């Protein structure tokens, strides 16, 4: 909402300066987003009198002028075609910065003629795009004085962010009222006497709204005959241009002026272009309107339209039609001041994509009690500026009764707002804002009637806000916000803690955390088991961001690609974030996903480089599962993995037959190709929510440590087994061979090839034996070795390697 | 010169000349061995008168001890020299790099959320969460956004196809629907913070279609706007970790709070550099207010008995302000250079007692 200081002062009697007004507005909740004060910026630019103007001796297009600046007569070289002796222009002396170009003017010599400044164009001043010649000021402009006041540019403009609840502040008067309530002067009285009608309007108005009378509860019209629609006077044009509106003609400028002055949108029909009476109805759908903004609109069923006997001529509260609009030849008009339903106006405006000052106001709510007053104000301005004779008012419908009483105990301000405001202060503030406050009732509350223009006021909390914001939020004392108890309690649940732990765990493992979009192209989602239509955005920003991701893997792979494009091929990225199976709350899963690509670790003089593989991500997964409380021995490793993994180099960790806790492995080459990743890529997904929470227990004691006093012994064995035998079988058989003695089994070598029968491999294990009763003798060792060999041979159908 | 003196002098000379352990051993054998000079001296014992033997024997033994000591001292010297020589030959070039260890990093969003939890956790808040895909009841209606109200337009909502039961599904535009879920499932007193992903159909220099918010909600019988001020003032002071962070409350409008306020923190922009703290300028960081009675009513909480406050702020925004990160869009680019530069080592576990971050 833009307005100028002088415009504000037509409603507010104040001596406050611009800075005070600006600060007060912001602290009232009317945030000032910009203040444009030309007077300050234009101060160095004065009225200059061109006392001489002669042809430049060395340049055809240049002239040499002598300019009287009020304090001196200076020579200036000027290229403008309209420069002439005797004119008054805008003079800038050397040392001044030109607003448009930000260039500092210097004393120069142009082709042999000295130039001590410049006569400026409207373009150079940033006032218009017209650079055809310099500004030509009126002959009576006072030489040496700032030119801004001559052109009325010394009126500072304020741009205020009016929030949706303050429809009343979409008029300058509403803003003035708030400032007056805050003690910055007084609101000037506004009396708009009725203009007596001299005849009955030739245009009648009828409602055909059926079951929806709320669409347009009140329509006030008036015919004015014999108007002359020439350009509006300077004062009005200046008001409009100052806030960025283009003056068009007196009639149009008057409606725009009242829209911004008192928040009263109006429409003016050219009576000669109307056929018959106006009917306000809901569109059937399929009608068309050529609107005033030059666009054609297809009207949908239910939109509130105003039609004559030919068809739709206006979209109520949104935009008028061009065929019945006023022009320079208009002599007979029908003025409309109406009320339109906010919701319907908003729906229509949104559906058609019309942004207009009228829509903006009607969808926020117009003062229902000021329709007739608005019409009278419009009539007076039209009669003043365009002449003509007015008809009697054509009133259809009635203003809705919005009167309501809200009871507020004065103590409510302190109870909710945290600051004591006396009853008399609360009363004064509310009354200044237009509320009627009755006498204290027996239950200790004040009966408060909100003004007709404050549809946003519903209950006592709203009244508290009104009192508080005028009293000043600054006056609310910061009150200590104490927690119950001396020590804090846990802020995160055990489930939440797992996610926080995992985030730090992967970083601890040398991986870099990324946060990537929750959405991605549908085709990519399909590669990862997603792409369901129920998870496709109806209104995505682009097709790149249209489908909710089934897992963070694809967005991490895309990030891997982007980094490869920057020259980073070796990386380890992870993200603990959502994946979506369906749109229900349970369809969203927390997934810890990671990608390792290229080489593991940097190249080093001591350590041979190697490509990442499935065992890198297996380690990630096992570390993650251990961190969230899974006992590794309970995990089952299976080969059934989703299609985006390499079928031979990936696996799933399950708990029981169904609960998949994690999948990991090398990425399927076809999927890697989709991301144009040529090197090794391994990845994992840990389904955090699928991991059962360990049983909650009181206390944190651990089982007693019973270290054996007898020395542990390690024995190595190698077995030749069929290639298909999984290593885990060997480990398990050895471990179970003597549960009392075998403390640990680890694989330290795997060999295939020369020296071994075709189709076999050798697996070498180290078995740690931990006696608990006595030191092992040679006989004990032989016995347990035999047990281990037998068990492994039986389990694998293999042989001890000779 | 006595035999003793001769043996002593010769041995001393030989020991001094022995250049390595082997030569020294040869000296030892020659002097102290079975056929050595000292043994020879001892053989003279038999030739002496019985009363002289004791003194002579003691003298030979003293000489033996003396020479043994001499040889052992020399042996230690030779050992030290040999070790020193070996060590010299074993010198490595320590300017060579150590074996590589990957340096992991936490994303600034995760770190900031952890910091926020650490601070509000101390004030007695616990963390609540909810789904990203919401319906318009939880995201709008229950939060007092009337159907068709322009305030809904301000949210630039992403929509999904309607649910089978006709509910309008959308990506939550703020974390506030979790307020609704919390109030519907818990009885007051309530004190929660709600961090999470949020979405708005907006993409330019300062907006991304996905971002993170943290929301706070307090419901009880007595909490008022002064407490809201106190709570946020303490938060700002603890979070920004600068000497004094002035706070300014400005009246504002949100459908789900009444009264509503926007909160600015003090800053200075001298020389084009933004500094949080006492200065001559203000910077908006969050919106807040007292929970609207209609919201309480929608969530089954009696507005005649309960009241409280809510606030919400952008995680990326407060991270940018605190850590001087210039561009919002870079948060989601996963550029390794950015993540390494602005990311956090996992050791930086935020705590108000041991520090939020380094």
Beta strand pairing call for A406-408 and B257-268:
unpaired
Residues of chain B with Cβ-Cβ distance to A23 below 8 Å are none
Interface A-B: count of C-beta contacts within 8 A: 265
**A607/B251 CB distance under 8 A:** no
Full-model pTM:
0.87
User: What is the pLDDT tens value at each position of chain B, 358 positions in all?
Assistant: 478 888 888 888 988 998 888 889 998 998 888 888 888 888 888 888 888 888 888 888 888 999 899 999 999 999 999 899 999 999 999 999 998 888 899 999 999 999 999 999 999 999 999 999 999 999 999 999 887 776 676 678 999 999 999 999 999 999 999 999 999 999 999 999 999 999 999 888 889 999 999 999 999 999 999 999 999 999 999 999 988 999 999 999 999 999 999 999 999 988 888 889 888 889 999 999 999 999 999 999 999 999 999 999 999 999 999 999 999 999 999 999 999 999 999 999 999 999 998 7
Selecting from 3.30.56.10, 3.40.50.970, 1.10.3300.10, 3.30.420.40, what CATH number does the domain A2-37+156-187 have?
3.30.56.10
Assigned architecture for domain A40-150: Beta Barrel (2.40)
Q: Which of B105, B129, B349 sits opposite A512 (nearest CB)?
A: B105
Which of A181, A158, A160, A159 minimizes the C-alpha distance to A454? A181
Q: Return d(Cα A592, Cα A574) in angstroms, integer.
A: 7
How far A500 CA sits from the closest chain B CA (Å)?
8
Q: How far is CA A426 from CA A21, A471, A473, B249, in A?
A: 22, 8, 14, 20
**Domain assignment of residue B70, given as a range:** 3-88
* First vs last C-alpha separation in chain A: 93
Q: Which chain B residues touch A604 with a CB distance below 8 Å?
A: 97, 99-100
pLDDT in tens, A303-339: 999 999 999 999 999 999 999 999 999 999 999 999 9
- Determine the pLDDT at residue A779: 94
Establish whether domains A2-37+156-187 and A407-475 are of one fold.
Answer: yes
Same domain for B301 and B222: yes
Of A29, A573, A583, the CB nearest to B133: A583
Distance between alpha carbon A144 and the CA centroid of its chain, in Å?
49
Show the beta-strand stretches assigned E in B230-291: 247-254, 257-268, 275-276, 281-291
- Check A605 against B340: CB less than 8 A apart: no
Contact B253 A462 (CB under 8 A): no
Q: With CB atoms and an 8 Å threshold, state whether B225 touches A416.
A: yes
In this prediction the ipTM stands at 0.89
Check whether residue B196 and residue B241 sit in a common domain: yes
Query: Chain A, 477-496: which have a CB under 8 Å from a chain B CB?
Result: 477-481, 483-485, 488-493, 496
Asked if A166's CB is within 8 angstroms of B334's CB, the reply is no
For the beta carbon of residue B106, count every other beta carbon within 10 angstroms: 26
CB contact under 8 A, A414 and B106: no
Distance CA B136, CA B117 (A): 28
CA distance linking residue A785 with residue A470, whole number of Å = 90
Q: How far is B149 from chain A (nearest CA, A)?
A: 7
Assess contact for A599 and A667: CB atoms under 8 A.
no
Of A465, A479, A503, the CB nearest to B226: A479
Q: Is A536 helix (H, G, I), strand (E, B) or coil?
A: strand
How many whole angstroms separate alpha carbon A15 and alpha carbon A35?
Answer: 18
Residue B347 lies in a domain: no
Strands A446-449 and A436-437, by their bridges, are: antiparallel
Contact A509 B102 (CB under 8 A): yes
Co-location of B71 and B141 in the same domain = no
Run of H or E including A659: strand A659-667
CA distance B106 to B341: 11
Asked if A513 and B252 come within 8 Å (Cβ–Cβ), the reply is no
The count of structural domains within chain B is 2
Under 8 Å between Cβ of A122 and A135 = yes
Let me know if residue B27 belongs to a domain: yes
Q: Are A715 and A767 within 8 A, CB to CB?
A: yes
Q: Any idea what the CATH number is for the domain that residue B241 is in?
A: 3.30.930.10
pLDDT below 50 — which residues of chain A? none
Beta-carbon count within 10 A of A729 CB: 16
Q: Is A142 helix (H, G, I), strand (E, B) or coil?
A: coil
A170 DSSP assignment:
G
Q: Which residue has the tokens 């997904």?
A: A685
The confidence score (pLDDT) of residue B154 equals 66
Locate the domains of chain A by residue range. 2-37+156-187, 40-150, 205-397, 407-475, 494-690, 713-800
- pLDDT of A659: 92
- Which one, of B107, B105, B160, lies nearest residue B134 by Cα? B160
Residues B128 and B60 reside in one and the same domain = no
Give the CATH number of domain A713-800; options: 2.60.40.420, 3.30.420.280, 3.60.15.10, 3.30.70.380.
3.30.70.380
* H or E element that contains A52: strand A46-55
> Is residue A682 within 8 Å of A663, Cβ to Cβ?
no
**What count of residues does chain A have?**
802
The answer to whether the Cβ–Cβ distance between B210 and A519 falls below 8 Å is yes
Are B103 and A479 inside 8 Å of each other by CB? no
Nearest CA among A285, A380, A348 for reference residue A358:
A348
Question: In this structure, are strands A799-800 and A713-722 parallel, antiparallel, or unpaired?
Answer: antiparallel
Specify whether B51 is located in the same domain as B125: no
End-to-end CA distance of chain B: 81
Residue B321 within a domain? yes
Task: Note whether A517 contacts B: Cβ–Cβ < 8 A.
Answer: yes
Q: Spell out which residues of chain A touch residue B210, defining contact as CB-CB under 8 Å.
A: 517-519
Fold of the domain built from segment(s) A494-690: BirA Bifunctional Protein; domain 2 (3.30.930)
Fold of A205-397: Phenylalanyl-tRNA Synthetase; Chain B, domain 3 (3.50.40)
One domain, residues B24 and B116: no
- In chain A, residues with a C-beta closer than 8 Å to the C-beta of B95 are none
Q: Does domain A407-475 have CATH number 1.20.140.10?
A: no
One domain for residues B303 and B199: yes
| Co-location of B57 and B137 in the same domain | no
How far is the C-alpha of A45 from the C-alpha of A147, rounded, in Å? 6
Q: What is the pLDDT of residue A469?
A: 96
Task: Spell out which residues of chain A touch residue B251, defining contact as CB-CB under 8 Å.
Answer: 27-29, 465, 468-469, 473
Q: Nearest CB to B160: which of A459, A538, A577? A: A538
């Amino acid at each position: 909402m833009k307005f100028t200081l002088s415009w504000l002062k037509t409603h507010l009697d104040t001596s406050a300066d611009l800075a005070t007004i600006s600060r007060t507005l912001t602290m009232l909740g009317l945030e000032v987003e910009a203040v444009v004060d030309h007077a300050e910026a234009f101060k160095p630019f004065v009225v200059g009198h061109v006392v001489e103007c002669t042809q430049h001796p060395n340049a055809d297009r240049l002239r040499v002028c002598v300019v009287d600046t009020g304090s001196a007569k200076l020579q200036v070289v000027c290229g403008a075609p309209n420069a002439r002796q005797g004119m008054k222009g805008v003079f800038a002396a050397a040392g001044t910065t030109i607003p448009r170009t930000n260039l500092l003017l210097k004393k120069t010599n142009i082709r042999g003629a000295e130039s001590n400044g410049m006569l400026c164009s409207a373009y150079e001043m940033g006032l218009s795009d017209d650079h055809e010649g310099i500004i030509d000021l009126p002959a009576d402009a006072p030489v040496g004085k700032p030119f801004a006041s001559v052109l009325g540019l010394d009126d500072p403009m304020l741009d205020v962010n009016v929030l949706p609840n303050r429809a009343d502040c979409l008029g300058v008067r509403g803003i003035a009222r708030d400032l007056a309530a805050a003690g910055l002067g007084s609101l000037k009285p506004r009396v708009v006497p009725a203009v007596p009608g001299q005849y009955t309007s030739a245009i009648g108005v009828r409602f055909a709204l059926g079951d929806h009378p709320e669409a347009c509860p009140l329509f006030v019209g008036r015919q004015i005959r014999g108007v002359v629609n020439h350009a509006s006077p300077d004062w009005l044009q200046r008001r409009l241009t100052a806030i960025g509106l283009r003056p068009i003609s007196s009639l149009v400028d008057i409606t725009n002026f009242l829209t911004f002055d008192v928040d009263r949108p109006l429409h003016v029909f050219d009576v000669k272009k109307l056929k018959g009476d106006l009917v306000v109805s809901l569109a059937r759908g399929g009608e068309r309107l050529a609107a005033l903004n030059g666009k054609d609109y297809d009207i949908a069923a239910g939109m509130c339209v105003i039609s004559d006997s030919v068809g739709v001529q206006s979209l109520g509260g949104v935009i008028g039609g061009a065929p019945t609009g006023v022009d320079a030849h208009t002599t007979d008009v029908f003025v409309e001041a109406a009320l339109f339903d906010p919701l319907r106006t908003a729906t229509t405006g949104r559906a058609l994509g019309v942004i207009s000052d009228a829509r903006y106001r009607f969808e926020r709510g117009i003062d229902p009690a000021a329709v007739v007053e608005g019409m009278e104000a419009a009539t007076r301005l039209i009669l003043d500026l365009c002449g003509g004779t007015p008809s009697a008012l054509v009133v259809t419908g009635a203003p809705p009764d919005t009167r309501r009483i809200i009871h507020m105990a004065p103590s409510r301000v302190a109870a909710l707002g945290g600051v004591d405001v006396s009853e008399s202060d609360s009363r004064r503030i509310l009354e200044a804002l237009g509320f009627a406050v009755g006498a204290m009732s027996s239950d200790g509350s004040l009966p408060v009637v909100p003004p007709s223009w404050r549809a946003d006021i519903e209950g006592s909390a709203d009244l508290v806000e009104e009192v508080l914001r005028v009293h000043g939020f600054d006056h609310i004392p910061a009150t200590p916000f104490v927690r119950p108890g001396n020590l804090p309690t846990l802020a995160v649940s055990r489930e939440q803690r797992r996610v926080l732990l995992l985030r730090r765990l992967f970083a601890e493992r040398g991986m870099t955390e990324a946060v990537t979009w929750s959405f991605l192209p549908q085709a990519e989602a399909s590669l990862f088991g997603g792409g369901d239509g129920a998870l496709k955005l109806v209104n995505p920003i682009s097709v790149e961001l249209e489908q909710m991701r089934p897992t963070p893997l694809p967005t991490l792979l895309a990030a891997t690609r982007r980094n490869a494009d920057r020259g980073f091929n070796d990386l380890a990225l992870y993200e603990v974030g959502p994946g979506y199976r369906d749109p229900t709350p349970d369809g969203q899963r927390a997934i810890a996903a990671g990608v390792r690509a290229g080489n593991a670790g940097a190249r080093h003089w001591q350590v041979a480089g190697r490509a990442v593989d499935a065992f890198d991500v297996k380690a990630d997964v096992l570390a993650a599962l251990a961190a969230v409380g899974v006992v590794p021995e309970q995990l089952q490793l299976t080969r059934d993995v989703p299609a985006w993994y390499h079928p031979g180099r990936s696996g799933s960790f399950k708990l029981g037959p169904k609960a998949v806790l994690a999948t990991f492995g090398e990425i399927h080459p076809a999927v890697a190709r989709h991301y144009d990743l040529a090197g090794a890529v391994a990845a994992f997904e840990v389904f955090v929510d699928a991991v059962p929470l360990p049983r909650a227990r009181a206390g944190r004691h651990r089982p007693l440590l019973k270290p054996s006093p007898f020395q542990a012994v390690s024995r190595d064995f190698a077995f030749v087994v069929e290639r298909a035998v999984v290593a885990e079988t060997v480990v398990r058989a050895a471990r179970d061979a003597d549960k009392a003695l075998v403390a640990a089994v680890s694989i330290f070598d795997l060999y295939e090839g020369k020296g071994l029968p075709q189709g076999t491999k050798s697996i070498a294990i180290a078995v740690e034996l931990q006696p608990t009763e006595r030191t092992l003798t040679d006989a004990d060792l032989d016995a347990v070795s035999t047990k281990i060999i037998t068990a492994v041979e039986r389990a694998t159908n293999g042989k001890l390697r000779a | 010169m006595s035999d003793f003196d001769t043996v002593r002098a010769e041995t001393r000379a030989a020991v001094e000349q022995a250049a390595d352990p082997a030569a020294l051993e040869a000296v030892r054998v020659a002097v102290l061995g079975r056929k050595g000079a000292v043994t020879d001296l001892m053989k003279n014992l038999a030739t002496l008168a019985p009363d002289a033997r004791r003194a002579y024997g003691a003298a030979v033994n003293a000489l033996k001890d003396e020479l043994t000591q001499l040889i052992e001292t020399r042996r230690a010297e030779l050992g030290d020299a040999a070790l020193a020589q070996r060590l010299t030959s074993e010198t490595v070039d320590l300017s060579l790099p150590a074996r590589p260890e990957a340096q992991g990093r936490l994303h600034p969003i995760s770190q900031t959320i952890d910091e926020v939890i650490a601070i509000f956790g101390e004030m007695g808040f616990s963390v609540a969460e909810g789904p990203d895909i919401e319906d318009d009841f939880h995201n709008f209606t229950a939060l007092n956004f009337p159907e068709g109200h322009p305030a809904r337009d301000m949210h630039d909502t992403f929509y999904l196809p309607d649910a089978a039961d006709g509910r309008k599904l959308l990506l939550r535009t703020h974390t506030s629907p979790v307020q609704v879920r919390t109030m519907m499932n818990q009885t007051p007193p309530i004190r929660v913070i709600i961090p999470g992903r949020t979405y708005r159909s907006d993409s330019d220099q300062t907006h991304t279609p996905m971002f993170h918010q943290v929301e706070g909600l307090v419901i009880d019988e007595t909490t008022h706007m002064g407490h809201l001020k106190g709570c946020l003032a303490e938060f700002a002071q603890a979070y920004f970790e600068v000497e004094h962070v002035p706070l300014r409350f400005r009246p504002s409008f949100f459908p789900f709070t009444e009264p509503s306020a926007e909160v600015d923190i003090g800053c200075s922009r001298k020389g084009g550099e933004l500094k949080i703290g006492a200065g001559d300028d203000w910077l908006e960081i969050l919106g807040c207010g007292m929970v609207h009675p209609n919201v309480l009513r929608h969530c089954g909480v009696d507005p005649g008995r309960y009241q409280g406050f809510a606030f919400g702020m952008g995680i990326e925004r407060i991270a940018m302000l605190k850590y001087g990160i210039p561009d919002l869009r870079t948060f989601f680019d996963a550029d390794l250079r950015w993540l390494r530069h602005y990311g956090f080592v996992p050791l930086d576990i935020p705590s108000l007692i041991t520090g939020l971050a380094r």
